[in-house]
Structure 1
Amino acid sequence: MKKQTLLSLLLGLSLTAFAQKTSAPEFAITQAEVEVPLRFLASDELGGRRTGSNGNLIAARYIAEHLRTYGYQPAPGLNGYFQPIGFQASTPPATASLMIGKTNYQFKEDFIIMTGDAATLNKVEVVFAGHGWIDEKTGQDDYKGKDVKGKLVVVLPGPPNESAPQAVFRAMGQKRDWAYERGAVGLIELYRLSFPWNFFTSYFGKESLGLAPKEGPKASNKMIYGWMKEKTDISDIKDLQAGKKFKANLASSGFSRRMVPSQNVVGILEGSDPELKNEYLILSAHYDHVGIGKEGGGAYSKEDSIFNGARDNAMGTVALLSAAKALAQQRPKRSIILLAVTGEELGLLGSQYYSENPLIPLKQCIFNLNTDGAGYNSTEHISIIGWSRTGTDALVEEAANRVNLKVFPEPAPEQNLFDRSDNVSFASKGVPALNYSPGLTKFDDVIAKYYHQVADQAESVDMPYFLKYCQSFANLARLIADNAQRPQWKAGDKYEKAGAELYKK
C-alpha cells in the first residue's frame, strides 16, 4: 500500500510538472533545439548566407520547412512560404579618374564611382547645388536658378537635416534622378558621414545589391554617380561652395548590372481569440549575412574566408523559430506573422520590401518585435533598442526576468541603432516596434572581435546564454500577443504621427 501511494505520488508530481511545462510552452525549448539550427545556419556550407546566394536560398528553405512543420500557413497571395524579391546587382568600374580644377583625386582613395556608363568628360563645368534636394511640401529646390545641363553637379550628402546612414543611402537614387532630369552629366556627393571612408568604400566599392526597379533599369543609371572625400589641405570644394568657377575632367570605365532573385520567408499562425485574431503581431529577424571573402568587407585569410554570421543574425533567426514553435504549441490570442527577411545587410531591403508590399494590411498589425544584433558582451542581459517608446517596458522586463536575465535599455545611443535594423521599416509606416538584441552594453573589443568577422562562428557562442535569449524572446512574443492593451507610440515620438495616420478610423 505504501509502495502504491509513493508511486501515485511520484506519478502525480510528474504529471504536474508536465502540465506546468505545457502550460508555458516557451520554456519547453531545450539547448539542443537552439544549438542545432544555429550550427546549421552558421555553417561553412551556407557560405555566409549572402542575399541571392545558394546558401541564402538554403537558409530560406530551412526556415520555411520549420514553419510548415509547426503548422503555420502561407500568407494570402503566396504560393508557399516565399515572398519573392527581385534584386539588381551592380558592379562598379574597375578604373576611374577625377580632376577638379588642378587637384587630382585618386580612385578609391579619394573618390568612387557607383553607377554610370563608360564616359570621358573633359573640361566640364562644375556646379554646387546644396544637397541636390527638392521638396514640394517645404518649397525647397536646390536646383532653382541653376543651369546644370551638361555639367558635373557636386552636392552635400543625403537629404537636408538627415545624417542617419539609412536616410542618406535611401536618398541616393532620388538625388541621381533629379540631377539626370535636369541634364547633368554627373553627380558627386561629398563624403561627410560619421563612419570611416574605408568602411564606405568597402561596401560600395564592390558589387552591391539593391531592389530592382519595377519598370526596369532607370535611364539615370547611365549618368556618372559617385562620392568623393574632400582634401583637408585644399580649398577647392569650399571655393566651389562659395561660387568660384571650376572645370573638371572625369573618366570612368562604366559598370555592369545583373538580376539576382531572393526571398522573404513568411508564415501565418491564426490567433485563438475570436476577435483578437484579426490583429497581428509581426515577429521578424533577418537571416541573410555578408557572404565570403571580399563580399564580407572584413579581414579574412586563405584558411578562413567565410563570414558565418552566427551572432548576426543566425542567433536572431533561431530565436524567431523558437518563438514560432512555442506559439504554435499553444496559440496566443492574436495572430502571428512570422517574417524572416533577406537583404538586411544591403540596407534593410527585405523588410522595406515587405512593408511596402504587406501580405496582411499593416493597419491590422499592432506591433513589430524584431530581433537582431551585432553580438553580445554580457550574458546577464538582453538589450532593448526602442526602450520606453511603445508602452511595452513592463512586458519586456517580465519576459527577461522569467529566465533570470536583466534588461539593458538603449545601448550605444550615439549609434542610432533603432533606425539601423529592420524594425525601422515598420516604424516608418507607423507600426510600433522595437529591436530585441543579445546583451550589448557598449561597442567594445568583444563586439568588434566578432561583428562582421570570420570569427563569428557557432562554436564561439555561449549556448546556455543563447537558450535563455531564445526563451525570453518567445516569452515576450506571447506576452504582447496576449496583452489586452495594444502597444502605441509614446507622445512626441518621431513615429507617432505615422502611427496616428496608419490606425486612424
Structure 2
Amino acid sequence: MFKYALATLLSGFVLTAASAQSTSKPTGKQPGRLAPPRPMAPVAKLPESSITRAEVEAHTRFLASDELQGRRTGEPGNWIAARYLAEQFRELGLKPAPGQSNYLQTIELERVVPARSATLQIGSTTLELGKDLVVMAGGPIDATGEVVYVGYGLTDGEDGYKGQDVKGKIVVAQGGSPDAKGPRELFNASNTKRKLASEKGAAALLELYSESIPWGFVNQYFNREQVAIPVTAGGAGAGLSHVWVNNANNQYKQLKDPGQRITLRSSGRTRTSVTSANVAGLIEGTDPKLKDEYVLLTAHFDHVGVGKQGGQSYSPSDSIFNGARDNAFGTVALLTAAKSLSEQRPKRSVLVVALTGEEVGLLGSRYYAEHPLVPLKQTVFNLNTDGAGYNDTTIVSVIGLERTGAKTEIETAAKAFGLEVFAEPAPEQGLFDRSDNVNFAIKGIPAPTFSPGFKSFDEAIAKYYHQAIDNPESLDYGYVLKFCQAYAHAARLIANRPNRPQWSPGDKYEPAAKALYGL
C-alpha cells in the first residue's frame, strides 16, 4: 500500500536527480575511500505547496468577520463576501464565465417572512402556531369549511383525488410520500401536493405531519425568515394556504373524517424581492482537446446571519453567526485552489463557483444547475467542499468517494499533504443529498463533497455547527492549510486525468449521467 501510494505520488513530480556514482576517484585526504554520492536534488514542489498559512488565515478572518454579519443570502454582508470573492478572482487572472461580463451570476430571490399568527379550530380543540401548526405557504386566510382527505394527495388515483370534489374545500393530506427518505424528498412531495390542490380548486391544504424530522426543528425553521427562489404565478400553488399539522401519534385523525368541518385562520406569509449572486471564474485548460471539458469546483459562501435568523443558539454578547467552519473554511479552499490552478493550469478547464443560498435550501447550486454557465454535458466532474466542522485533523472526509470515480486522485492528493481520506462519514445522516453537490448529481455529474475531517456527528461537531461561537479564532490553521492544499491538488489531478470520472455502476444517479453524456 505504501509503495503504491508513493509511486502514484511521485508520478506527479518532476525529478531532477543526478545519478549517484558507483565508482569515484579516491580523495586525497582519505585514500581508498569512495567519495560520497552527490545528493539527489529535491523533488520539485507541487504548485499547491505555494499556498501559505498566512493567506488561508487572512481569507478566513475576513469572510468570518463580524462585519459581514453572518453572510446571510440577500443581506448586505452576503454581497460584501461576493464582491470580495469576485475581486480575488480578478486579481488571480480568472476570466468571467463564457457569456458573462463579470464574475457575478445574479439570482432573483424572495425574502419570506413567516406568519405572525395561525389557529386551526377542530370542534372544541384549538391548534396554535408553533406548538401545533407551521404555515408553509399562502397569504391571509379566514375560512370555515368541510375537509376532504386525499391520502398522500400526490395523484389522481385511488390514494389521491379520484372521485373527490375538493373545489372550495379544505384538503387534508398525509405528510411525506411513500418513498420519502429525507428532507429533500419530503419538501418536494409537499410542493407537489400544494400545486395539485391548487389546480383542483381547494380553499387550503393541511398536511398531517408525522415524519422523522423532529417537530421542534420544523417549527424553528419555518417560523423564521427564509429566502427562496420565486414561485411563478400559479406555479406550485403560489397563493394557496398550506399548513403542516403536528400529528404525532395520529392525535388528529378526525381530520380524515368525511364531513368534518374546521376553521383555519392565518395571517399568512409575506414575500419581498431580494437579489444574491453566485461568483464564477474560469481557468482555461491547456490541452487542445480536453480544455473543452470542465471540472466544476464549488463551495457555498453564505451562512445563516444574525440573531433569530440563525436559530436560538446565540447570546446578547454574540449574536452573529460567523460560520468559520460552515463554510468560510470551504470557501477559502476554493480560493486557494483558484490561485494554484491559475498559476499552473491543468489540461481541462476549471470553472470555480462560489455558491450563494446553500443555507436557505441549496438555492445557488439549484439555480446554476438550471442556468449553467458552461454546458452541463461538458462538465465532467464537480468537486464540492462543505462541512459542519471537524474532529480529526489527520483526515479529510469525502462524501461520495466510493461512488463518483475519482477515489485514486482524491486519496493521492490528501496523502501528498499528510492526510488520510475517510469515506462516507455519518452514513445515517444521508449527507450526500444535503449539500450543493446533489443538484449537480441530479443532472448526472459525478459530485462528491470534500469535507473537513470527521467520522460522526459528535459533541465536537455540535459545539460549533450553526452556533454563534463558530468564529475564526477557533480554527486550527495548520490543518486548514493542509486541507486547502489537498483540495486544490485533488482538483488538479482530476482535471489532468486522461479519461472522465464516472459513477459507480448501479448508482442512483447513473441513469441521469447516461442521459446527460449520451453514454
TM-score normalized with structure 1 length: 0.92
SS of match in other structure, 2:261? strand
SS of match in other structure, 2:428? helix
Tell me, yes or no, if the aligned pair for 1:133 and 1:142 is still in contact at 8 Å: yes
Q: Does 1:256 align with 2:256?
A: no
Q: Does 1:127 align with 2:148?
A: yes
Tell me, yes or no, if the aligned pair for 1:344 and 1:351 is still in contact at 8 Å: yes
Q: Does 1:20 align with 2:44?
A: yes
Q: Does 1:103 align with 2:103?
A: no
- Cα distance in 1 between the residues matched to 2:255 and 2:233: 36
- 2:101 aligned partner: 79
Could you tell me how far 1:134 is from its partner in structure 2? 3.1
- Cα distance in 1 between the residues matched to 2:124 and 2:131: 17
- Cα distance in 2 between the residues matched to 1:108 and 1:276: 54
Identity of counterpart residues, as a percentage? 52
- 2:79 aligned partner: 57
User: What amino acid is aligned across from residue 283 of structure 2 in structure 1?
Assistant: L
Q: Does 1:174 align with 2:201?
A: no
User: What amino acid is aligned across from residue 423 of structure 1 in structure 2?
Assistant: N
Q: Does 1:493 align with 2:515?
A: no
Could you tell me how far 1:246 is from its partner in structure 2? 1.7
Q: Match for 2:209 among 184, 191, 194?
A: 191
SS of match in other structure, 2:314? coil
Q: Does 1:221 align with 2:238?
A: yes
- Cα distance in 1 between the residues matched to 2:487 and 2:208: 42
Tell me, yes or no, if the aligned pair for 1:298 and 1:452 is still in contact at 8 Å: no
User: What amino acid is aligned across from residue 20 of structure 1 in structure 2?
Assistant: A
Q: Match for 2:410 among 391, 396, 402?
A: 396
* C-alpha distance after superposition, 1:254-287 (max 9, x if no partner): 3321001000001111001111000000000000
Q: Does 1:48 align with 2:70?
A: yes
User: What amino acid is aligned across from residue 228 of structure 1 in structure 2?
Assistant: V
- Cα distance in 2 between the residues matched to 1:444 and 1:498: 35
Structure 2: stretches of 5+ with no match in the other structure? 1-37
Q: Match for 1:434 among 440, 443, 448?
A: 448
- 1:236 aligned partner: 252
Could you tell me how far 1:298 is from its partner in structure 2? 3.0
- Cα distance in 2 between the residues matched to 1:219 and 1:266: 30
Q: Which has the larger radius of gyration?
A: 2
- 1:309 aligned partner: 323
SS of match in other structure, 2:479? helix
- 2:427 aligned partner: 413
Could you tell me how far 1:407 is from its partner in structure 2? 1.0
User: What amino acid is aligned across from residue 374 of structure 1 in structure 2?
Assistant: A
Q: Which stretch of the first structure deviates more once superposed, 96-105 or 440-449?
A: 96-105
Q: CA RMSD in A?
A: 2.0
SS of match in other structure, 2:485? helix
Tell me, yes or no, if the aligned pair for 1:267 and 1:339 is still in contact at 8 Å: yes
- Cα distance in 2 between the residues matched to 1:183 and 1:141: 18
Could you tell me how far 1:174 is from its partner in structure 2? 3.1
Query: What pairs up with 1:4-15 in 2 under 5 angstroms?
Result: none
Tell me, yes or no, if the aligned pair for 1:114 and 1:205 is still in contact at 8 Å: no
* C-alpha distance after superposition, 1:457-503 (max 9, x if no partner): 10001110111100110110001000112110111100000000000
**C-alpha spacing 1:91/1:330, structure 2 compared with 1 (3 Å):** same
- Cα distance in 1 between the residues matched to 2:424 and 2:222: 29
Tell me, yes or no, if the aligned pair for 2:285 and 2:347 is still in contact at 8 Å: yes
Could you tell me how far 1:236 is from its partner in structure 2? 3.3
Q: Does 1:295 align with 2:319?
A: no
- Cα distance in 1 between the residues matched to 2:402 and 2:248: 43
- Cα distance in 2 between the residues matched to 1:486 and 1:344: 27
Could you tell me how far 1:115 is from its partner in structure 2? 2.2
Could you tell me how far 1:166 is from its partner in structure 2? 1.6
User: What amino acid is aligned across from residue 227 of structure 2 in structure 1?
Assistant: L
- Cα distance in 1 between the residues matched to 2:60 and 2:227: 26
- 2:33 aligned partner: none
Q: Match for 2:230 among 195, 203, 212?
A: 212
* C-alpha distance after superposition, 1:281-332 (max 9, x if no partner): 0000000000000000131111000000000000000000011100001000
Q: Does 1:339 align with 2:344?
A: no
Q: Does 1:66 align with 2:66?
A: no
Tell me, yes or no, if the aligned pair for 1:163 and 1:193 is still in contact at 8 Å: no
User: What amino acid is aligned across from residue 207 of structure 1 in structure 2?
Assistant: E
**C-alpha spacing 1:116/1:399, structure 2 compared with 1 (3 Å):** same
* C-alpha distance after superposition, 1:375-414 (max 9, x if no partner): 0011111001002112211111111111111111101111
Q: Which stretch of the first structure deviates more once superposed, 196-205 or 310-319?
A: 196-205
Tell me, yes or no, if the aligned pair for 1:151 and 1:186 is still in contact at 8 Å: yes
SS of match in other structure, 2:339? helix
**C-alpha spacing 1:217/1:288, structure 2 compared with 1 (3 Å):** farther
**C-alpha spacing 1:172/1:78, structure 2 compared with 1 (3 Å):** farther
Count of aligned positions: 482
- Cα distance in 2 between the residues matched to 1:230 and 1:304: 36
Query: What pairs up with 1:458-469 in 2 under 5 angstroms?
Result: 458-469=472-483
SS of match in other structure, 1:188? strand
User: What amino acid is aligned across from residue 200 of structure 2 in structure 1?
Assistant: R
User: What amino acid is aligned across from residue 117 of structure 2 in structure 1?
Assistant: T
* C-alpha distance after superposition, 1:82-121 (max 9, x if no partner): 0010111121221111023443212110111132222211
Higher helix share: 1
Tell me, yes or no, if the aligned pair for 2:109 and 2:276 is still in contact at 8 Å: yes
SS of match in other structure, 2:180? coil
Could you tell me how far 1:226 is from its partner in structure 2? 1.5
